[in-house]
């Protein structure tokens, strides 16, 4: 199989669509038109308490209020918004945007009580609340656990950002060391610069921006603004002198992950250096801080334990979601949790859990009759505040799209599968119909685009600035063929995700991607190859008839026509090993190993079997060297043998199984005795070979019967 790169749509997409920026653009065109479609159900009389006013809590509150419940949000701090307010700097999310969208939620009827720290859920139940949603976030900064950490000049990243918001932190003229490679660390570093720090050095154990958990564009922004990032170093201890912090002793981080991809940093203890600093800010993550008085179960990470389907916590009438459950995650994931909790709580209170409403009549993607994609047009850059204008203030850095930019960017969208099967369509955790709102922007219907977003999230303007945009990750330029490949040989992870390629060596030429007719521009080409590659399609494509056997597929008629052919006679047993099945694929070098093992057990290879035809020596099972590296979806070695030989065969197969880089499905075929029993079953039981509860039964309706039967 091959993809014609001149036709493939993916090549026409030069980088993912700026979906987040388009979301912001739609939010900036809010005329309130969506409100005329918005409905609130009559009061149910049910009181619901929500603990925490972050994205999860506010989302659940909004939808539950619209379903007619009386919802009160309890916020421990003096202002609403949770981590959106305290953890995201104003230059990324201006306060007025957050305030405006929270006001919409309050206007919907949500009661928010600030400076109300909840310490007992029992007390809420006693006050008549019938359901409680815990959305308390993950507020406690993690510690490094190194010498010298317990000093007032060492602070965690989240506390630092919170203090800045309350005006309680001044670091002008000081040298700041930030520890961590995530988004919070970058936010801390950029905030420190804006507060007038003399210099900001960020150290992290990761070795390159791609390895860092922080978004690549934010790392770039930090560098642009003058943050020095020292990668590949871990903190050995925090240095003190004269009662003050003096800096960090660092040790070289050799690797961040172990061989299994698990986070397990490894350090070269003898390679160290020091970094001077007046203030150290540790931003290596946060964890939930759940009061014991909640009497809810938590896990080893101090996060609330829940039923992942319903978000129900360990106590009756209590649900939990957002960072309090997942640890630090994205705003969109918290919103998705808020939506899920709203559905579960409404059902618990006797409702149907239907939180979605249609806020516009625009439901369909409309494509021009003749679509012309701006081939190769690069992703439109979002305007940024010049670096020189960022120092000393918290003015918004990202300026969003002008109308012309938004239109150009939306025109780049390929609307893969006309939006129905676009990968971005189902990437959003909250379920936003991404291709539809992009299509509406493209058609100049900005209000409708916003309505589509608002159907799933109550804070679109916030998301347009801080969404982690998993939909952009999914935007690979069609790539609709990728999941269809049973051999996982179609790759959409090329540079800039703009190329979809078939790995020629891993492709088994089964033809699924071609026959599925999934490519919207017919770029998939069903090539005919010469020997030895030709064996791939012969074995993998079930529509290809084997020249020798005239049977489509991969084997003989075996038990299917046994009453006519007598392939498995009384006193004999059939043993078939199908290499590569199910769904792994096999190279002929593995097929040969199994064939040789079977040959050692003195089986008779089926004459009309395609694998047998590939053998150069049917007594040893040797396969033609020319095809040993060829890969097929599966290849079937079919044999017969006197039944008393079955133990030898099983022994050889058990030995060779451990030497393979693939799997094989094993079939035992048997003529049944007059009483309907299969003589091989007793032997297999003695050999401890278990059989599946289902299988194939030849009804014996074929004629003429094999002569053994005629007698």
379/560 with CB nearer other proteins: 560
245/512 with CB nearer other proteins: 512
Examine residue 533 and say whether the peptide bond preceding it is cis (omega within 30 degrees of 0).
no
Q: Which of 377, 491, 657, 679 binds other proteins (CB under 8 A)?
A: 657
Length of the chain: 711
Does 707 engage in binding with other proteins (CB under 8 A)? no
Q: Which of 257, 426, 529, 531 binds other proteins (CB under 8 A)?
A: 426
Are residues 570 and 559 in contact, defined by beta-carbon separation less than 8 angstroms? no
As given in the structure block, the two tokens for residue 8 are 């493939």
Site for other proteins in 572-591 (CB under 8 A): 574, 576-578, 580-585
- Total residues contacting other proteins by CB under 8 A comes to 91
Site for other proteins in 336-365 (CB under 8 A): none
Does 542 engage in binding with other proteins (CB under 8 A)? yes
188/416 with CB nearer other proteins: 416
Least distance between other proteins and beta carbon 285 (Å): 28
Are residues 394 and 91 in contact, defined by beta-carbon separation less than 8 angstroms? yes
CB pairs under 8 A, 24+ apart, for 425-428? Answer: 427/470, 427/471, 427/473, 427/474, 428/332, 428/456, 428/470, 428/471
Least distance between other proteins and beta carbon 522 (Å): 16
Q: Which stretch binds other proteins (CB under 8 A): 66-74, 182-190, 256-264, 655-663?
A: 655-663
Does 693 engage in binding with other proteins (CB under 8 A)? yes
Does 612 engage in binding with other proteins (CB under 8 A)? no
Host H or E run for residue 112 = strand 111-113
Least distance between other proteins and beta carbon 251 (Å): 35
Does 308 engage in binding with other proteins (CB under 8 A)? no
CB pairs under 8 A, 24+ apart, for 539-545? Answer: 539/508, 539/610, 539/632, 539/633, 539/634, 539/635, 540/508, 540/509, 540/510, 540/511, 540/632, 540/633, 540/634, 541/509, 541/510, 541/511, 543/511, 543/515
Residue 691, CA distances (Å) to 669, 695, 699 in order = 12, 9, 20
Least distance between other proteins and beta carbon 693 (Å): 5
Does 701 engage in binding with other proteins (CB under 8 A)? yes
Which value, to the nearest 10 degrees, does the dihedral of the CA atoms of residues 121, 125, 129, 131 take? Answer: 60
Does 624 engage in binding with other proteins (CB under 8 A)? no
Least distance between other proteins and beta carbon 597 (Å): 11
Least distance between other proteins and beta carbon 132 (Å): 25
Are residues 266 and 248 in contact, defined by beta-carbon separation less than 8 angstroms? no
Q: Which of 76, 384, 385, 672 binds other proteins (CB under 8 A)?
A: 672
342/633 with CB nearer other proteins: 633
Residues 494-533, mask of contacts with other proteins (x by CB under 8 A) = ----------------x-x--xx-----------------
520/702 with CB nearer other proteins: 702
Task: Work out the number of other CB atoms within 10 angstroms of the CB of residue 415.
Answer: 23
Least distance between other proteins and beta carbon 650 (Å): 9
Please state, in angstroms and rounded to a whole number, the distance separating the CA atoms of residues 58 and 82.
10
Does 485 engage in binding with other proteins (CB under 8 A)? yes
Does 7 engage in binding with other proteins (CB under 8 A)? no
Q: Residue 140 class from Cβ within 10 Å (0-12 exposed, 13-18 middle, 19+ buried)?
A: middle
Site for other proteins in 311-330 (CB under 8 A): none
Does 680 engage in binding with other proteins (CB under 8 A)? yes
Please state, in angstroms and rounded to a whole number, the distance separating the CA atoms of residues 341 and 48.
12
Does 551 engage in binding with other proteins (CB under 8 A)? yes
Q: Residue 414 phi/psi, 5° resolution?
A: -80, -15
Does 661 engage in binding with other proteins (CB under 8 A)? yes
Least distance between other proteins and beta carbon 564 (Å): 4
Does 431 engage in binding with other proteins (CB under 8 A)? yes
Which value, to the nearest 10 degrees, does the dihedral of the CA atoms of residues 411, 415, 419, 425 take? Answer: -80
Does 557 engage in binding with other proteins (CB under 8 A)? yes
Least distance between other proteins and beta carbon 82 (Å): 26
Please state, in angstroms and rounded to a whole number, the distance separating the CA atoms of residues 597 and 642.
17
């Amino acid at each position: 199989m091959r993809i014609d790169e001149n036709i493939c749509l993916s090549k026409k997409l030069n980088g993912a669509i700026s979906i987040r920026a388009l979301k912001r653009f739609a939010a900036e065109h809010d005329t309130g038109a969506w409100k005329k479609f918005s409905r609130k159900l009559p009061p149910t009389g049910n009181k619901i308490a929500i603990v925490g006013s972050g994205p999860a809590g506010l989302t659940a509150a909004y939808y539950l209020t619209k379903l007619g419940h009386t919802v009160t949000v309890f916020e421990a701090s003096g202002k609403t918004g949770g981590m959106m307010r305290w953890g995201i700097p104003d230059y990324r999310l201006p306060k007025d945007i957050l305030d405006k969208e929270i006001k919409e939620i309050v206007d919907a009827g949500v009661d928010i009580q600030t400076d109300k720290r909840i310490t007992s859920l029992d007390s809420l139940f006693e006050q008549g609340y019938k359901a409680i949603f815990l959305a308390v976030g993950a507020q406690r900064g993690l510690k490094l656990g190194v010498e010298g950490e317990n000093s007032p000049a060492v602070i965690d990243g989240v506390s630092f950002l919170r203090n800045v918001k309350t005006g309680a932190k001044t670091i002008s003229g000081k040298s700041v060391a930030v520890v961590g490679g995530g988004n919070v660390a970058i936010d801390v570093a950029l905030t420190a610069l804006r507060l007038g720090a003399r210099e900001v050095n960020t150290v992290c154990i990761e070795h390159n921006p791609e390895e860092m958990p922080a978004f690549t564009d934010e790392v770039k922004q930090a560098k642009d603004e003058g943050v020095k990032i020292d990668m590949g170093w871990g903190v050995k201890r925090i240095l003190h002198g004269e009662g003050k912090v003096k800096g960090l002793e660092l040790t070289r981080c050799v690797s961040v992950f172990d061989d299994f991809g698990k986070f397990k940093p490894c350090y070269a203890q003898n390679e160290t250096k020091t970094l001077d600093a007046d203030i150290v800010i540790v931003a290596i993550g946060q964890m939930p801080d759940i009061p014991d008085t909640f009497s809810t179960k938590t896990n080893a990470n101090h996060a609330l334990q829940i039923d992942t389907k319903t978000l129900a916590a360990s106590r009756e009438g209590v649900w939990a979601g957002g960072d309090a459950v997942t640890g630090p995650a994205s705003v969109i994931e918290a919103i998705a949790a808020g939506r899920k909790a709203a559905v579960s709580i409404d059902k618990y209170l006797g409702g149907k859990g239907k939180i979605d409403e249609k806020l516009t009549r625009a439901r369909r993607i409309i494509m021009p009759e003749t679509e012309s994609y701006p081939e190769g047009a690069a992703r439109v850059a979002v305007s940024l505040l010049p670096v020189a204008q960022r120092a000393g203030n918290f003015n918004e850095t990202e300026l969003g799209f002008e109308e012309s930019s938004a239109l150009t960017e939306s025109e780049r969208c390929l609307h893969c599968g006309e939006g129905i099967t676009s990968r971005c369509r189902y990437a959003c955790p909250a379920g936003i119909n991404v291709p539809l709102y992009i299509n509406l922007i493209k058609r100049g219907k900005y209000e409708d685009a916003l309505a589509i977003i608002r159907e799933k999230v109550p804070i679109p303007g916030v998301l347009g600035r801080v969404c982690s945009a998993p939909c952009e990750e999914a935007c690979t330029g069609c790539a609709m063929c990728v999941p269809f490949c049973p051999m996982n040989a179609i790759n959409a992870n090329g540079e800039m995700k703009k190329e979809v390629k078939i790995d020629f060596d891993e492709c088994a030429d089964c033809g699924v991607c071609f026959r599925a007719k999934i490519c919207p521009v017919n770029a998939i080409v069903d090539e005919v190859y010469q020997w030895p590659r030709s064996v791939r399609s012969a074995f993998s494509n079930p529509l290809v008839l084997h020249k020798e056997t005239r049977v489509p597929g991969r084997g003989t008629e075996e038990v299917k026509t046994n009453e006519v052919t007598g392939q498995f006679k009384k006193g004999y047993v059939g043993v078939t090993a199908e290499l590569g099945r199910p769904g792994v694929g096999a190279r002929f070098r593995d097929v040969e190993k199994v064939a040789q093992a079977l040959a050692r057990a003195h089986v008779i290879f089926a004459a009309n079997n395609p694998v047998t035809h590939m053998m150069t020596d049917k007594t040893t099972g040797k396969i033609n060297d020319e095809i040993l590296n060829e890969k097929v979806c599966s290849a079937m070695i079919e044999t017969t043998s006197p039944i008393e030989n079955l133990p030898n065969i099983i022994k050889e197969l058990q030995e060779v199984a451990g030497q393979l880089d693939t799997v094989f499905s094993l079939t035992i075929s048997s003529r049944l005795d007059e009483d309907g029993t299969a003589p091989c079953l007793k032997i297999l039981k003695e050999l401890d070979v278990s059989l599946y509860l289902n299988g194939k039964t030849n009804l014996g309706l074929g004629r003429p019967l094999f002569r053994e039967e005629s007698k």
